[in-house]
Amino acid sequence: MFNTIAHLVVRRRKATLILFILVVLVAGGIGSLAFSKLDSGGYSDPNSQSAKAAKFLSSNFNVKDPSIVLVIDSGTLDVSDPSVAASATRLEKAVKAEPGVAQTLSFWSAGNAPTLKSSDGKAGFLFIYTTKTDSANQDEIGKIIQSKFDGKFESLTVYASGRDVIQYAVNTKISKDLALAEAISIPLTFILLAFVFGALAASTMPLVVGISAILGAFFLIFLFTLFTSVSIFALNLITGLGLGLGIDYALLIVNRFREELHSGKSVEESVISTVLTAGKTVFYSGLTVLVTLSSLIFFPLNYLKSFGYAGISVITLAVAGALIPLPAILAIIGGKVDKGVVRKSALVPKEDGGWAATARMVMRRPIPVVMISLVILAIFAAPIKDIAFGDVDARVLPKSDKAAIASQMIVDRFSGQEGSPIEIIIPGAAGAAQKTEEVAAYVMAVSAVEGVVRVTPPQSNGVDLRFTAIPSMGSRTTQAQTLIHNIQTIAAPDGTLIGGPAADFTDSQDGIARTLPWALGWIALSVLILIFIFTGSIILPIKAVLLNALSLGATLGVLSWIFIDGHLKWLIGDFTITGSLDTGITILIAVVVFGLSMDYEIFLLSRIREEHFAGKSNMESVATGLQRSARIITAAAMLLAVVFGAFITSGVTLIKMMGFGVAFAVLLDATLIRALLVPALMRLFGELNWWAPKALKRFTLTH
């Protein structure tokens, strides 16, 4: 296959390049249609009990949770004061007249309901129920209500919160922050690319791979939107990974092309040799990253599935870009790849140098290096013992954000989460006299659970019963998850459904927990098989998985130390300490980091294997392999760290966490893991590195 691609690209270099450009431009044009179809939700498990409860409430009781919650602060007057009531009534009338608002309910329109009044009696709730359910319209309604009503209204002060307002605030903040991150990372990346590649002509090569991968992935995402919902955040992964993999693969291809060219081969021979060696490495590296990110499709949340779709799309196109248009360009420009010299020492790869010397030093003292490295990783990983997981709520926003201020006011001034009740439905219980005592006992048991402020009297639609439990804590917290689990352990009447925001959060977290072992099993098994096929070794795949697991553990430990314990704010900026890490972003970081680590692992093992089977000893093949590939790995990691590290400037905690997590992990992997632990362990295992049973050798790749 690679031989066919290489010769075809060399023979038809101009036609190949023109055709690929046309295909990418058409794909990008069609792919842009996906932007209006993307979803900003997808955080719930659609097959969970809470999802069934939501459908039951909507169809049988015509009930849904308020989309927006307004806190009406009356200042020094009691909310029941006539002047306050008059102003609040006019406010409610104005809100109700807004397009998309179906109905409202407030302390005043509910007959001064005490449950809708703050503990100090100086504030009341106004709940807003909307007609639209799709995420785009929810964002728009949240924007309108916040912009028109958050602030002063006559003598009242209004604070806007609730699902739609928070969703709008988070999405808007992320969009602005990503624009800032790109304004920082893109110019800096171009400067570093010129320094790393050593020439301006070569430094443009990652754009060939990156842009083709990004535009092509937009087209594939558009196709996905025709059959399923796709999160808008998939775009961030596509652009980040597209540029990152473009850098990785272009570095490998261009570096090998230069090496072949400077060894005396013709341009055509150099391109063919590059595709047969580095091209094959890119293909298997991309395949490894692809199967790793495809594990995200296993999870029940569309939010995570979307990252899986995005990962599969952008990796496929990045590999295609590295194997087709990039070699075609190199065949066209030949030695002009070194035009515009910036750093002459980077133009000609060295057979021996600093990385080879480092490898030999490590291999002379492998045991101390392994022990010290493991101690460092253990120190990094130690805080993982305190790790806890949560979900997106207003606390991911800066404390100064209007939605965050409003949400904190609800926590501080109201005894229960009236706008986010736990919904409990008992189908068929209204007309069953024999269930009366059972229902009463169940309601009493629920009301006695710690964290339940009160339980409303049961409501009936003539057939079914519904009652609500008001929790004392936020609905998307670890405390709420514990509360729901405690309620679920109570013996309930047959068919009982538990819903509401807290149950939705809990079911989503439980769904992720159930799926995680299958996803991890898929990653481990796939990676073990692929690396075995690529290297022909039993030891190397096992070692690669274990080292990546150690690196990932260290990364999660550092993330816990920073975002749960609250350290290092002086470096990464202020954020609200929630006591947990966002589950979805943590999984995304873990999968992306594991995939990129395997990317670097295959880069390194490919070159070591090539040197070893060319006749060099174990130590010399490791030294030469590290010299040839470590510069590429370190440069790629540094550039990727810049791309993702720019996200640290975000005011949204989960984006800040993603930026720091990926940047830290790739730098840790490129230095401590690849430069120290890998050569030390290669030295300790010696020729066993390449052992495999003869019966399995026939399944390995011929290089």
Indicate the residue type of 319: V
CA 422 centroid distance within chain: 29
d(CA 217, CA 307): 12
Beta bridge partners of 425: 466, 497
**Count of CB atoms situated within 10 Å of the CB of 682:** 29
The SS3 of residue 348 is coil
H helices, E strands: number in the chain: 26, 12
CA atoms within 13 A on the CB side of 622: 28
Same domain, 216 and 303: yes
Pick from 175-184, 186-195, 316-325, 468-477 the range whose average pLDDT is largest. Answer: 316-325
Pick from 322-331, 393-402, 597-606 the range whose average pLDDT is largest. Answer: 322-331
d(CA 136, CA 134): 6
Same domain, 29 and 76: no
The SS3 of residue 104 is strand
pLDDT at 135 over 60: no
Structure tokens at 609: 């294997």
Domain termination site, one of 307, 331, 349 = 349
pLDDT at 173 over 80: yes
Phi, psi of 34 (to 5 degrees): -70, -25
What is the arithmetic mean of pLDDT over 480-487? 92
Is 500:415 a contact under the CB 8 Å cutoff? Answer: no
d(CA 409, CA 391): 20
**Count of CB atoms situated within 10 Å of the CB of 33:** 12
pLDDT at 157 over 90: yes
Nearest to 556 by CA among 397, 385, 391: 385
Strand locations in 131-271, DSSP E? Answer: 151-153, 156-161
Q: Does residue 614 lie within any of the structural domains? A: yes
Same domain, 524 and 491: no
Torsion sign (Cα): 474, 480, 481, 485: negative
pLDDT at 136 over 60: no
CA 672 centroid distance within chain: 24
Question: What CATH number does the domain containing 265 carry?
Answer: 1.20.1640.10
Q: Does residue 409 lie within any of the structural domains? A: no
pLDDT category, 137, cuts 50, 70, 90? low
Q: b/e per residue, 507-530, with b = 16+ CB within 10 A? A: bbbbbbeebbeebbebbbebbbeb
- In the numeric block, the tokens 């990546």 are attached to 548
Same domain, 395 and 534: yes
What total number of domains does the chain contain?
A: 4
Q: Identify the pLDDT of residue 416.
A: 67
Q: Does residue 446 lie within any of the structural domains? A: yes
Same domain, 584 and 667: yes
Mean pLDDT of the chain: 86
Q: Identify the pLDDT of residue 691.
A: 86
Let me know the angle formed at the C-alpha of 373 by 367 and 376, rounded to the nearest 5 degrees.
145
Domain termination site, one of 474, 499, 524 = 499
Instruction: Convert the pLDDT of each residue in 328-339 to its tens digit.
Output: 999 998 888 888
Q: Give the pairing of strands 581-582 and 389-390.
A: parallel
Same domain, 203 and 319: yes
Instruction: Convert the pLDDT of each residue in 503-551 to its tens digit.
Output: 999 999 999 999 999 999 999 999 999 889 888 889 999 999 999 999 9
pLDDT category, 376, cuts 50, 70, 90? very high
Is 123:413 a contact under the CB 8 Å cutoff? Answer: yes
Q: Where are the alpha helices (DSSP H) in 382-471?
A: 402-413, 436-447
Query: What single-letter DSSP state applies at residue 129?
Result: E
What is the arithmetic mean of pLDDT over 80-102? 91
Beta bridge partners of 498: 424
Same domain, 427 and 369: no
Same domain, 428 and 531: no
Interacting residues of 90 by C-beta distance below 8 A, sequence separation 6+: 154
What is the arithmetic mean of pLDDT over 695-700? 75
Beta bridge partners of 124: 72, 117
Q: Identify the pLDDT of residue 374.
A: 95
Q: Identify the pLDDT of residue 156.
A: 92
The SS3 of residue 227 is coil
Let me know the angle formed at the C-alpha of 389 by 673 and 447, rounded to the nearest 5 degrees.
165
Is 158:91 a contact under the CB 8 Å cutoff? Answer: yes
Strand locations in 113-217, DSSP E? Answer: 123-130, 151-153, 156-161
pLDDT category, 71, cuts 50, 70, 90? very high
Question: What CATH number does the domain containing 447 carry?
Answer: 3.30.70.1430
Q: Give the pairing of strands 465-471 and 422-426.
A: antiparallel
pLDDT at 703 over 60: no
Q: What percent of the chain has pLDDT over 70?
A: 96
Q: Does residue 167 lie within any of the structural domains? A: no
Question: What CATH number does the domain containing 115 carry?
Answer: 3.30.70.1320
d(CA 12, CA 474): 62
80-94, 110-124, 386-400, 458-472: which range is least confident on average? 386-400
What is the arithmetic mean of pLDDT over 23-45? 83
d(CA 239, CA 184): 15
d(CA 549, CA 523): 11
Q: Where are the alpha helices (DSSP H) in 382-477?
A: 402-413, 436-447
Is 422:484 a contact under the CB 8 Å cutoff? Answer: yes
Q: Identify the pLDDT of residue 352.
A: 60
Q: Where are the alpha helices (DSSP H) in 470-500?
A: 478-488
Q: Identify the pLDDT of residue 351.
A: 61
Same domain, 701 and 579: yes
Same domain, 444 and 550: no
**Count of CB atoms situated within 10 Å of the CB of 179:** 10
Query: Helices 280-293 and 501-535: crossing angle, nearest 10°?
Result: 160
Nearest to 41 by CA among 217, 145, 144, 164: 164
Q: Does residue 416 lie within any of the structural domains? A: no
d(CA 258, CA 335): 8
pLDDT at 391 over 80: no
Indicate the residue type of 636: A
Q: Give the pairing of strands 452-455 and 422-426.
A: unpaired
Give 695 or 353, the one with higher predicted confidence. Answer: 695
Instruction: Convert the pLDDT of each residue in 674-686 to its tens digit.
Output: 888 988 998 898 8
What is the arithmetic mean of pLDDT over 347-353? 61
Is 686:363 a contact under the CB 8 Å cutoff? Answer: no
d(CA 638, CA 170): 29
Instruction: Convert the pLDDT of each residue in 214-243 to its tens digit.
Output: 999 999 999 998 888 888 778 878 888 888
Q: What pTM does this model have?
A: 0.84
Same domain, 515 and 385: yes
- In total, the chain counts a number of residues equal to 703
Instruction: Convert the pLDDT of each residue in 595-639 to its tens digit.
Output: 888 888 888 888 888 888 888 887 888 888 888 777 778 888 888
Q: Does residue 56 lie within any of the structural domains? A: no
Phi, psi of 651 (to 5 degrees): -85, -10
Same domain, 313 and 426: no
Structure tokens at 29: 């044009």
Domain termination site, one of 103, 134, 161 = 161
Q: Does residue 640 lie within any of the structural domains? A: yes
Q: Is 161 left (phi over 0), alpha (psi -120 to 50) or beta?
A: beta
Nearest to 244 by CA among 702, 562, 642, 684: 642
Q: Does residue 391 lie within any of the structural domains? A: yes
The CA–CA distances, whole Å, from 408 to 43, 88, 300 equal 22, 21, 30
d(CA 699, CA 695): 8
Q: Identify the pLDDT of residue 484.
A: 94
d(CA 271, CA 256): 9
Beta bridge partners of 452: 471
Pick from 37-46, 549-558, 583-592 the range whose average pLDDT is largest. Answer: 549-558
**Count of CB atoms situated within 10 Å of the CB of 64:** 14
Query: Helices 325-333 and 2-11: crossing angle, nearest 10°?
Result: 50
pLDDT at 188 over 90: no
State the residue range of the domain holding 345: 1-37+198-349
pLDDT at 347 over 80: no
pLDDT category, 88, cuts 50, 70, 90? very high
